[in-house]
Structure 1
Amino acid sequence: MIFPFFRRAANRRLIERLHGQIVAAARNRILFTEYAIEDTFEGRFEAVTLHAALVLRRLNAMAPPAPEMAQDLVDALFRHFEMALREMGVGDIAVPKRMKSFAEAFVGRGAAYDLALSKGETALAAALARNVYADRANPDRLARYVGAADRALAKAPIEAFTMGPVPFPEPSAIL
């Protein structure tokens, strides 16, 4: 009876650690200074969504329990998005509407990046230009970074996600 409680607690710690690694990669200052992702709430949302989409793509391609981890990760991401909204002072009435917008954006971007990654760097650059940069900046370097991250994650065993570190490339190493 008590073992499921400990299993859930361990899983929650694992997912929170994984979430933390995604957020740390997404907040790498190089992405905002050299890659020109806007350092705004929206820009940070785009960076987190992009990194999360890459991890979710890999987890969903792996054998169980990885797909279940992916769902737990999505749940954790949205808990954190909601907390961020509340910390920004968004009221109780507006939070559900904003969360719905986040969910639609998150799912749409994940699908767009997944499709673009399967089509190649040109399609990926177009998806990044549209979503991350709102067609205001050159997405080529970010496309090379995302491609490198996708290749690194594709080789990563389950332990990279359960124990860390998640093998995101260093953005400054991608030119």
Structure 2
Amino acid sequence: MLWPFNHFRKPRSPLRGTIEAIYGMIVTQAREPSFYRAMAVPDTVNGRFDLLLLHLWLVLRRLKSAAGGAALSQALFDHFCNDMDDNLREMGVGDLTVPKKMQAFGEAFYGRTAAYDLALTGGREALAQALCKNILNGEHIEKAGRLAAYAEAAIAALDGLDDAALLGGSAKFPVPDRVDSGQ
């Protein structure tokens, strides 16, 4: 006899498919080889995490202005947290250590997003400085300028989308190698 344990599971969110599509787009873009090859992003766990945070920030920033974006923003952030938790556990991090690591991830996310938001008000040079500090370990300021140009192009591309395209999970990031840095 089969016991109906379905009532113990969390109900499937109607946003789940959209969240998975948007998060998949973010992760795929953060893995784009040209960031590591041409923009000096360290090809390390930390470098990949920092690029993931950058792209998550870009999307969450745009969702703030979208009709219905608040619920999607929260669901996207929750998905990110669940993914980080799952990754820690897959890497063998113990149950007692996971909460500490998750707290560190949260602090990194909020610290970087605050720095990037503030830097946006100061122009490309300020954004390049923030990206250099947080992603490039304080090195390669010239590469940080390219990364800042990319972030500005991504902001423009996301801002140019109508809400339906964004909320439908069909947004696209610019190709990093094709962004003109103005240098």
TM-score, length-scaled by structure 2:
0.87
User: Unaligned stretches of 5+ in structure 1?
Assistant: 1-6
Provide the secondary structure at the position in 1 that maps to 2:172: coil
Deviation at residue 8 of structure 1 after TM alignment: 4.5
Q: Is the 8 A contact 2:50 2:135 kept in 1?
A: yes
Corresponding position of 2:38: 34
The runs of at least 4 aligned residues of structure 1 exceeding 4 Å deviation read none
> Which amino acid in structure 2 is aligned with residue 109 of structure 1?
R
CA distance in 2, matches of 1:43, 1:24: 14
Residues 70-110 of structure 1: CA deviation (Å, up to 9, x unaligned)? 11100000100111111111111111000000000001111
> Which amino acid in structure 2 is aligned with residue 35 of structure 1?
M
> Which amino acid in structure 2 is aligned with residue 53 of structure 1?
W
Q: Is the 8 A contact 2:22 2:169 kept in 1?
A: yes
> Which amino acid in structure 2 is aligned with residue 46 of structure 1?
D
Identity %, equivalent residues: 43
2:88 to 68, 71, 85: 85
Does 1:54 find its partner at 2:58?
A: yes
Of the two, which has the highest radius of gyration?
A: 2
Residues 118-159 of structure 1: CA deviation (Å, up to 9, x unaligned)? 321011011101100110222110011001111111111122
Does 1:71 find its partner at 2:74?
A: yes
Provide the secondary structure at the position in 1 that maps to 2:15: helix
Corresponding position of 1:3: none
Moved more, 161-170 or 124-133: 161-170
CA distance in 1, matches of 2:165, 2:131: 26
Corresponding position of 1:126: 129
CA distance in 1, matches of 2:160, 2:122: 19
Q: Is the 8 A contact 1:31 1:37 kept in 2?
A: yes
Provide the secondary structure at the position in 1 that maps to 2:35: helix
How many residue pairs get aligned? The number is 169
Corresponding position of 2:15: 11
Corresponding position of 1:4: none
Corresponding position of 1:43: 47
User: Unaligned stretches of 5+ in structure 2?
Assistant: 1-10
2:139 to 136, 143, 146: 136
Higher helix share: 1
> Which amino acid in structure 2 is aligned with residue 153 of structure 1?
L
Corresponding position of 2:7: none
